[in-house]
Structure 1
Amino acid sequence: MRLAIIGLSNSGKTTVFNALTRQNIETTIYPTVTGEPNYGIVKVPDYRVDKLAEIYKPKKVTYATVEYVDYIGLTKGDITQNRKVFDLIKDVDAIVHVIRAFEDDAVLHPMNEVNPMRDIEILELELIFGDLELAEKRLARMEEGAKKGKKPNEAEKRLLLKCKDALEKEIPLRNVSFDNEEQKVMKHLQFVSIKPEVVVLNVGEKDLNTEKEKKLLSDVDAYFRAKNQDPSLITRHASLSLCGKVEMEIAQLNPDEARAFLDDLGIQEPALNKLIQVSYDLLGLISFLTCGEDEVRAWTIKKGINAQQAAGKIHSDIERGFIRAEVINFDDFISVGSMSLARDKGLLRLEGKTYEVKDGDIINFRFNV
């Protein structure tokens, strides 16, 4: 899973990136429009992997991972500057939109005052304008080609006109319904406003666990609900709040110190865990597990994938030569403590290629190539 952290300058994007990745990238108190992207790969915390590792004591333990990318802030009305960001994030699975909700006179705001709802709208519009420019340019090229006798791709043209119509109404493409054929045509176009989005309200420490924080989250959710053409597509948006400055400090502590700090502040879990879980839910992702003396490992897949497709996540040969899957849910396994006891109690099942893999399934694939 690849997630891009975006936002206006001085929203706390890089601070949040540091909190998530436990890096220490320099942050500035003034807006910047140049620089290199920051990348960080984070292990997905998973108590099930921890427990299986305790039991099997394997040579290797492999967690699922998330890659974060952080770049310069978006600028209101500057399509050329913003295109640098769009080109970087066009291949990510989702965007993490950091909104400044903290007050700090030492950190300049590009709009001169802190106003989270205004900033959300500004950034949403920049995504929309970027996609509108892309759609218009592609339609113009089609028209030029048609004048020279080149027949346009009618399916793509219809799709671009549909997108253009929504974008002109200031509706992001994630809030527009597209059928399966339209989604296939759209894949190579690399629009950015279609990306699922997690809005992160970066609040001040004094606002943690307050009514002000709750109201801001409520206002954000209401804003995105109002933008939806199709209520079923609200699942393409999620929101949460955190204090980037505090979370960055926590990320530098050892686990015991971090837990004490979190408890003092009334924070149940660090931002890293919370954002990963929200992102998994938003993208419809789950994890299945494999275990043995050589390795305990978590594998991330889309919810709804069948056993044969899940086998392909490990290796294409296993998918191609799939025979059966030996499956037991993690909780059932822990209740008995070993595979032999699970087999004796009938908890270990043999499933065929069409079995829908569930979150927390421990699977051993039987295959022949």
Structure 2
Amino acid sequence: MERARASSTRSSRFLRLLQLALLACVGLLAGCGPHYTPPLMVGTNTWIGYEPLYLARSLGYHDRLPLRLVELGSTTQAMDALRVGKLDLAGVTLDEALTLVQEGLPLRIIWVMNVSAGADAIIARPGIRRLADLRGQRIGVEQTAVGAYMLQAALEQAGMQASDVSVVPLPLDEHLSAWHGRRVDAVVTFDPVRQTLLNEGGVTVFDSRALPGEIVDVLVARDEALQCCARRIAQLLDGQRRALAYLAEHRDDALARMAQRPGVASADMAAALNGMVLPNATGNRALLDGASPGLVRTAQQLAQTMHQHGLLARIPDTTGLVDARFVREMQP
């Protein structure tokens, strides 16, 4: 009887040990299995100036990098997605970045994507040849800071006020349909829509050449992304550096690749790029790094102008606006 009880006790102890061993094995297997890393969510609208990001993807520079490029219909959508945390990074204009910072969104500028030099414009119908001819006309404009800034600058140059024209709120993805449907007489827009309208007979009555250095597109990152994913962000920006180098060295092939996604001709892509400056790693270092970064000075001046015109409720603190660590450590 004692031997039977002892045997039973040993059996129970063995079963418990076996269960513990099995649980440990399951834990080890789970730990050794594939680890899911959420992709870095990077959003842009259809602006041609963001195309090098997609060129990098086309060239395989994002391979094996947990990353998803998200194309949105408008900058408004990109800003909203940033606000609620659906995007980690996004391409926005400098004035839009200032708007988000004023709202209290914790973000930093990590790369200057482009500086517009004619690619943002007000395109009018044939017969409207100068800004003064816009008086009483319907002008479509996206309800963003850059749209309002462009329109206000144009009206001031012509000695007009917003009340002298009929402002039609128009999301970017409706610019072409509104033009074709004759719902507007002019539109504040940018490439590739700008080039399409010019090809259809539209007339440029104002463009970003009148605002040198003021219409700047930047890549911003939320603070959470900078804290958790700095290595992946560095890899993304290295892909941008390599894509710009490829564009400089193999322009024809790069233009052909870049033209595919927006569905435009290579010649139109080339014309669009001629209306902007695409700073490379060296250019970005000059703009973002140093004791007094050039972009921060531009942002301060722009914030004052926006505040004076009622586009900002207050002038935001631009002290920590830029995070230059990525361009500082990047090879030329």
What is the TM-score normalised by the length of structure 1?
0.21
Q: Which has the larger radius of gyration?
A: 2
Please state which structure has a larger fraction of its residues in helix.
2
